[in-house]
Amino acid sequence: MGIISRAFSGRPREPDAKLPPGQYLVHDFPVLSAGPTPRVPLDRWEFSIDTAEGQVHRWSWEEFQALPQETPTVDLHCVTKWSKFGTGWKGVSLDVLMEDVESAAEYALAYSYGGYTTNLPLEDLLDGKAWIVHEYDGEELAPAHGGPARLLVPHLYLWKSAKWIKGLRLLDEDWPGFWETAGYHNYGDPWREQRYQGD
């Protein structure tokens, strides 16, 4: 038995079960960008899915808006260590966008207006896990947060949720994106604290 009774050691503070390791909670919405904010007029906006087999599926802004919309409320986790709980979005599930896409690809490279890219296994975009969103907190998505539309993949670090999304390229082989070629982890699971290559 130890010298100090358990009664004096106090009860350890319960870690917040919603907060991944190494993260802290914020209530504002920090803006982090790897470059200038692109301004994309809606009449020139389009979203494409290119398959590894050479097919292209393309939506104009009007066609995209006409698709079934969902309103996910999700927690966000940024590799810079902030997390934000209960963010409300409106957009189209990738399950809807992939409905008529036939491909045997296992990977996707998301690419954005402005040149940003990020890679994900295709299965991480399906089964209700990812959306292309165009509203945040009941308002149209501001350019600083990725508007007109951004990818939202909340179960991975936020750099995977590409702002100013322009399209997805479906690939047979994994093709690391902007940060993934520069030292960030290839997958980026916040619950396994996969921040850097080798984590």
Partner 1 sequence: MDYQDGNALAGPLSEIFTLDVTVAQGTCAGCGLRGPLAGLHVYGAAPGLVARCPGCEEVVLTLVRGPKDVWLDMRGAVSLRIPVTE
Closer residue to partner 1 in complex, CB, 37/51: 37
Contacting range for partner 1; rule: CB under 8 A; set: 33-41, 45-53, 65-73, 134-142: 33-41
Direct distance between the N- and C-terminal alpha carbons of the chain, in angstroms, rounded to an integer: 38
Closer residue to partner 1 in complex, CB, 72/114: 114
Instruction: Show the site string, 58-97: x = touches partner 1 by CB under 8 A, - = not.
Output: ---------------------xx-----------------
Pick one of 45, 59, 136, 179: the residue that binds partner 1 (CB under 8 A).
Answer: 179
**CB of residue 32 to partner 1, shortest distance in Å:** 6
Pick one of 25, 34, 66, 142: the residue that binds partner 1 (CB under 8 A).
Answer: 34
Residue 174's DSSP bridge partners are none
**CB of residue 100 to partner 1, shortest distance in Å:** 35
Closer residue to partner 1 in complex, CB, 25/34: 34
Phi, psi (5° rounding) for residue 48? -125, 150
**Amino acid occupying residue 91:** G
**CB of residue 188 to partner 1, shortest distance in Å:** 12
186 binds partner 1 (CB under 8 A): no
Pick one of 125, 184, 188, 190: the residue that binds partner 1 (CB under 8 A).
Answer: 184
Residue indicated by tokens 């986790």:
77
Phi, psi (5° rounding) for residue 40? -115, 110
Pick one of 18, 25, 35, 63: the residue that binds partner 1 (CB under 8 A).
Answer: 35
Exposed, middle or buried: residue 21 (CB in 10 Å: 0-12, 13-18, 19+)?
A: exposed
Phi, psi (5° rounding) for residue 58? -135, 140
196 binds partner 1 (CB under 8 A): yes
Q: Which residues bind partner 1 (CB under 8 A)?
A: 31-37, 79-80, 115, 144, 179, 181-184, 195-198
